[in-house]
Amino acid sequence: MTLPNAPTLAALKHAAAGMANRDTPFIFDEWYVAAFADDVSRTLLPRRLLGKRVVLYRSESGQVVALSDRCAHRAYPLSLGSLEGDTLVCGYHGFRFDTQGNCIEVPSASKCPKGIGVASYPVIEKGPLVWIWMGDPALADPAKLPEQEWLGAADWKHSQGGFQLQSNYVSMHENLLDLTHLSYLHAKTFGTPDYARAAFRSEVGDGYFALYRDVVPTTLPPVWAEPTGLVGCDTAARIVKSEFKSPAFHQVNVNFYDSQLPESQRQVSRIRTAHLLTPETQSSCHYFIVHGRDFALRDDAVTAFMHEQLFKAFQEDVDGMAALEQVWETTDADEMYEMSVAADGPSVAMRRYLKARAEPVASLVRVSA
Amino acid sequence: MTLPNAPTLAALKHAAAGMANRDTPFIFDEWYVAAFADDVSRTLLPRRLLGKRVVLYRSESGQVVALSDRCAHRAYPLSLGSLEGDTLVCGYHGFRFDTQGNCIEVPSASKCPKGIGVASYPVIEKGPLVWIWMGDPALADPAKLPEQEWLGAADWKHSQGGFQLQSNYVSMHENLLDLTHLSYLHAKTFGTPDYARAAFRSEVGDGYFALYRDVVPTTLPPVWAEPTGLVGCDTAARIVKSEFKSPAFHQVNVNFYDSQLPESQRQVSRIRTAHLLTPETQSSCHYFIVHGRDFALRDDAVTAFMHEQLFKAFQEDVDGMAALEQVWETTDADEMYEMSVAADGPSVAMRRYLKARAEPVASLVRVSA
Amino acid sequence: MTLPNAPTLAALKHAAAGMANRDTPFIFDEWYVAAFADDVSRTLLPRRLLGKRVVLYRSESGQVVALSDRCAHRAYPLSLGSLEGDTLVCGYHGFRFDTQGNCIEVPSASKCPKGIGVASYPVIEKGPLVWIWMGDPALADPAKLPEQEWLGAADWKHSQGGFQLQSNYVSMHENLLDLTHLSYLHAKTFGTPDYARAAFRSEVGDGYFALYRDVVPTTLPPVWAEPTGLVGCDTAARIVKSEFKSPAFHQVNVNFYDSQLPESQRQVSRIRTAHLLTPETQSSCHYFIVHGRDFALRDDAVTAFMHEQLFKAFQEDVDGMAALEQVWETTDADEMYEMSVAADGPSVAMRRYLKARAEPVASLVRVSA
């Protein structure tokens, strides 16, 4: 039996205290994806974001509106009300709100009382995504949106989908920053056995964490081999960069080519995947995904094939993270521990960053302790 | 964004502290409806009332018996036992109880030990209802039953039904005391658009709260127009009195007539609805309803039509209150607020009354603070 | 109303404080059944035992292995991994563990870091059962296994089955130590009305508690009358000994014969049932059952008949204990009480023993108070 002994456990717990996990508060002052742009319409869309109930809709001119999903009067869900022009009328007693959350009409009162209202949230619609700022609105600077130009670019072909993740968002960020799991969790989809053993290097910045892994030479699984024309090639290169760009946004970038060809003759096929995580509750998460490629842009069969294959693989992550959440859920806190290895470097740094962002003081105290 | 600012929120919280809500303890010293009389028989009926497990049955002579639904011995549900004459035999080890909850036989002991027993609750059967007193039995005065003569009267035609409400009972009382919601929550059933804007007056007494609303002239929705013969009449009067009669009993009274006719020629059709609320848990409630009318007493088609239409509308309340409960359930207590308007006067007074009844000391302290 | 009055309630609560119930911590330093031997194979078997997640499998040589079901790295369930020879490979990042729980390979590291591991648990396979020791491994003495030779003996014919009990394990132990419930809970299966009133005697030892009950003369229910050839006999003897042998093991022993025959001519048919209880959570329990008889050993029809009849009766216990658990679950702790009678002697002593084992200090303090 090699259960960690008491001194080891104490050291592990000390380290863990500085790392975000499922119990860590949310980080509010960030842009998060509220919805795919396609899903916001003239139909009221209720959604729980960072623990808060929000209702989303479009004004008549198409602007996205995000309000607290509870009437100012008796807290009835506004999403059960109805739109009249740009205003939202509560389905309980008919209180009417404008797009800023101000109450502008109370049917039982001839004159609308002053100062009744609900929170409205800053939103930015950009390409396929609607971003929302759930924190201090004074800090909602559009310049803080993570770089994402390719998401709307014409020279990339996109495909999108989403999941309700029954897991905290920290675990999913960690999943994305350690792609050695491709050889195991995704053994039947886009992983290959050599992936986990490939050389890697990492980059740890201020709120930016990346892991680079070059799998060369390799044989690509069908999901990548078929669209890139590298079927049967056992000298393929799979050059991966996995980037934590913000608490809301992880991007995976992969280049594929035949490593036997001289650099000048290589045809490099690029794919990117935006993994967009918006906590719903402490133990569940909206998981939006936009996938893109820079080749075979007009080939719908390739789009359909890759979408189907990829989302089958992403489902494995979704199932795996839910299973992991259950371990945390059902294990006594004082028996829980994690042991890290070299490949976890960026992930541990990322979790420390999330912890420090979420609980600046607690984090400092613990480091100095 | 017009989220209430800090001073407003503080003032709202101060006001809220004196008002009952889903967290307020139950008020035990009151008569509540335990069941429809029709539902209590020689078959053991388990029911949770004010958080407590109760078993109901009739003695051989037809008297309703209400005992704590747990054996005195090892707490097995008595409702899983069997009736033998007037006694109830536990289904686990055969302990036998009389209608007063005294254990009168223990099979494994030749002589029944003294002093083993379970609580019995005072009950009153009256008309279609069985009332129960869950509080101090010394205070269970039948004179405290709210007036309800019409419920059993021959000059009223009755119809009854019930719901399991997934909401606290306070929210439902408030729903009933502000019928402006008819124009919105019941827009498709018995509400009309003019209802919410009609003039109202209120009455606030000691444990009695009423709201009067005269909707004149109006056009009645089919549920009222058809049985009263006012189809096509756009000068109808709909004279409403909504009364909180006790924590267990809210009554809605409506008179309909053609307002164009002189008073002497008016044919007034009256309906009344007893909304009987018995908390089950802090977030669920038994909702018994008895509806009555004083016209077309022998017309079964009218009874069937009104019952179907009305219970469709009551289902809207049931669904709405469950949605509202979910907002409270999923919102951090320190972010929850309510803003009141003039029409909420009786409702706010009623909630203060419930709070003061449930927590007399806490309530006094808060008022003086 | 005979609700226990305040002084009685206080006395009952004082007594209850020394008795185990659903809130009492588990007793770890004991052998518990982890699984039927037949259910442990080369397929990973996850199981929650005494609140802890365990994964069970057999090594290539057939030895049972029991490890903590969470990877040392990021706590992913090892039961979602795969076996490679005797080693278990985590399905997330491929960490490999030996049968002692030592991590022996980390794919992303060329050399496996030292000191990474998970708990392994001592196990003993004996006859139809796999026993596990969840407590201090230094105390895991095979000699502490309760006597159980008949379980694997050739002169007994066995039949086995199991349930997931939605009840704490203490209630089930108590159920087994007071078989007066046969006349009520099992009135339709193996109980008879005279059972509860039969004379009994008890034995209270140090961690051993027994109840003896001789039901003579009696008429046996079909489940016993048919296989023993005592159909139609109204002078049957049913001689029962019910033994608490450990927190994990209760045994019921019954001898049947015709009491009219002189002792020398009696043909005694014996049955035994091992009731094996392994807490899963505070309110659920694995319930393994092995039944045996020492007659008609080769008659498969008897085996099938008895198995079907018995497990129908055991299902009544399972349903009953779940109903009882719900009473505890939904009743305020300060309104809960139990009243004991003479027949509860061994059961009360047993619950005091479990309490003292689980919480030695708390138990002492309460006794001295």
Distance CA B164, CA C126 (A): 52
Position B21 in a domain: no
B270 lies in some domain: yes
Q: Record the pTM.
A: 0.94
- At C8 the pLDDT is 85
C234 with C186, same domain? yes
Per-residue pLDDT band at A368 (split at 50, 70, 90): very low
Q: What is the pLDDT of residues A230-288, one digit of tens each?
A: 999 999 999 999 999 999 999 999 999 999 999 999 999 999 999 999 999 999 999 99
ipTM of the complex: 0.94
C91: nearest Cα among C69, C111, C113: C69
Query: What residue type is C309 in one-letter code?
Result: Q
Q: Calculate ∠ Cα C208-C214-C217, nearest 5°.
A: 170
Residues C162 and C90 in one domain: no
| One domain for residues B110 and B241 | no
Indicate whether C367 pLDDT > 80. no
CA atoms of A45 and A83, how far apart (whole Å): 11
Rounded CA-CA distance C233/C223 in Å is 14
CA distance A24 to A354: 8
Tens digits of per-residue pLDDT, C240-264?
999 999 999 999 999 999 999 999 9
Same-domain check for residues B88 and B184: no
- Please return the burial class of C154, using the count of CB atoms within 10 Å of its CB with bins 0-12, 13-18 and 19+: exposed
- State whether A81 and A223 are in the same domain: no
* C185 & C96 share domain: no
pLDDT reading at A367 higher than 50:
no
- Mark which of B110, B134, B158 sits at the end of a domain: B134
Examine the domain organization and report whether A44 and A152 are in the same domain: no
Residue A362 has pLDDT above 80, yes or no: no
Mean pLDDT over A118-137 rounds to 97
CA R_g for chain C: 23
How much is the average pLDDT of A326-342? 94
- Answer whether residue C368 shows pLDDT above 70: no
**pLDDT higher than threshold 90 for residue A215:** yes
**How many separate domains does chain C show?**
2
Q: What is the pLDDT, as a whole number, of residue B360? A: 84
Using the beta-carbon criterion (under 8 Å), do A3 and C117 form an inter-chain contact?
A: yes
Q: Which residues of C touch A8 (CB under 8 A)?
A: 115
Q: Which structural domain, as residue segments, surrounds residue A122?
A: 35-131
pLDDT at C361: 73
Which CATH number goes with the domain that contains B69?
A: 2.102.10.10
**C332 shares contact with chain B (CB less than 8 Å):** yes
Residues 21-80 of A with CB under 8 A from B: 48, 51-53, 68-70, 72-77, 80
Q: How far is B16 from A44, CA to CA, in rounded Å? A: 29
Q: Provide the pLDDT confidence category of residue C369 given band limits of 50, 70 and 90.
A: very low
Torsion-angle region of C194 (φ positive above 0: left; ψ -120 to 50: alpha; else: beta): alpha
pLDDT at B10 (0 to 100): 87
| CA–CA–CA angle A295, A297, A302 (5° rounding) | 85
CB contact under 8 A, B327 and A51: no
Of C52, C90, C119, Cβ closest to residue A1: C119
Host H or E run for residue C129? strand C129-133
Question: Can you state the angle between helices A345-358 and A360-368, rounded to 10 degrees?
Answer: 120
Taking 70 as the threshold, does the pLDDT of residue C232 lie above it? yes
**Neighboring chains of A (3 or more beta-carbon pairs < 8 A):** B, C
Interface contact flag, A53 B331, Cβ < 8 Å? yes
- CB–CB of B323 and A101 under 8 A? no
Would you call A67 helix, strand, or coil by DSSP?
strand
| A6 occurs within a structural domain | no
Q: What is the CATH number of the domain that holds B351?
A: 3.90.380.10
Q: Are C351 and C15 within 8 A, CB to CB? A: no
Note whether C209 and C62 are same-domain residues. Answer: no
Say if residue B92 is in the same domain as residue B229.
Answer: no
Q: Which sign, positive or negative, has the C-alpha torsion B70, B71, B75, B79?
A: negative
Average pLDDT over residues A41-54: 98
For chain B, 369 residues long, the average pLDDT of each consecutive 10-residue run is 75 91 97 98 98 98 98 98 98 98 95 93 98 97 96 95 98 94 94 91 94 96 95 96 98 98 95 98 98 96 96 98 98 92 94 95 52
**Does residue C23 lie in a domain region?**
no
The alpha carbon torsion through A225, A227, A231, A236 (nearest 10 deg) reads -50
Average pLDDT over all residues of chain C: 94
All residues of chain B having their beta carbon less than 8 Å from the beta carbon of residue C1 are: 100-101, 117, 119-121, 137
Can you tell me the mean pLDDT for C126-146? 97
CB contact, 8 Å: B96 with chain C? no
* Terminal alpha carbon distance of chain B: 31
Look at residue C362 in the predicted model and tell me its pLDDT.
60
For residue B177, report the phi and psi dihedrals to the nearest 5 degrees.
-90, -5
Question: Does residue C253 fall inside a structural domain?
Answer: yes
- Spatial CA neighbour of A354 closest among A51, A31, A26: A26
Q: What is the mean pLDDT of residues A53-59?
A: 98
Distance from CA of B105 to the nearest CA of A (A): 44
Among A70, A100, A107, beta carbon nearest to B331? A70
B1 chain-A contacts, CB cut-off 8 A: 100-101, 117, 119-121, 137
pLDDT at residue C1 is higher than 70:
no
Q: In this complex, do A338 and C74 lie within 8 Å of one another by their Cβ atoms?
A: yes
Mean pLDDT for C79-100 is 98
Task: Report whether B201 contacts B209 (CB < 8 A).
Answer: no
Distance CA B148, CA A353 (A): 66
C234, burial (CB in 10 Å: exposed 0-12, middle 13-18, buried 19+): exposed
Instruction: Report CB contact under 8 Å: B101, C1.
Output: yes
Residue A222 has pLDDT above 50, yes or no: yes
Per-residue pLDDT reduced to its tens digit, C338-365? 999 999 999 999 999 999 999 987 655 5
Domain presence at residue C219: yes
Neighbours of chain B (3+ CB pairs under 8 A): A, C
- Write down the mean pLDDT value for chain A: 94
Q: Which of A78, A104, A131 is the last residue of a domain?
A: A131
Do the domain assignments include residue C166?
A: yes
Asked whether residue A126 falls in the same domain as residue A64, the answer is yes
The number of beta carbons lying within 10 Å of the beta carbon of residue A160 is 19
Q: Token pair for residue C105?
A: 């390979």
User: What's the rounded mean pLDDT across residues C23-36?
Assistant: 98
Q: Is A138 exposed, middle or buried (0-12, 13-18, 19+ CB in 10 A)?
A: exposed
Say yes or no to pLDDT of A363 above 60: no
Same domain, A208 and A341: yes
Asked if residue C26 is part of any domain, the answer here is no
Q: Which of B134, B169, B192 is the last residue of a domain?
A: B134
Q: Tell me the nearest-neighbour CA distance from A340 into chain C, angstroms.
A: 6
Record: contact A108-B335, CB cut-off 8 A: no
| Overall average pLDDT of the A313-336 stretch | 96
Same domain for A112 and A193? no
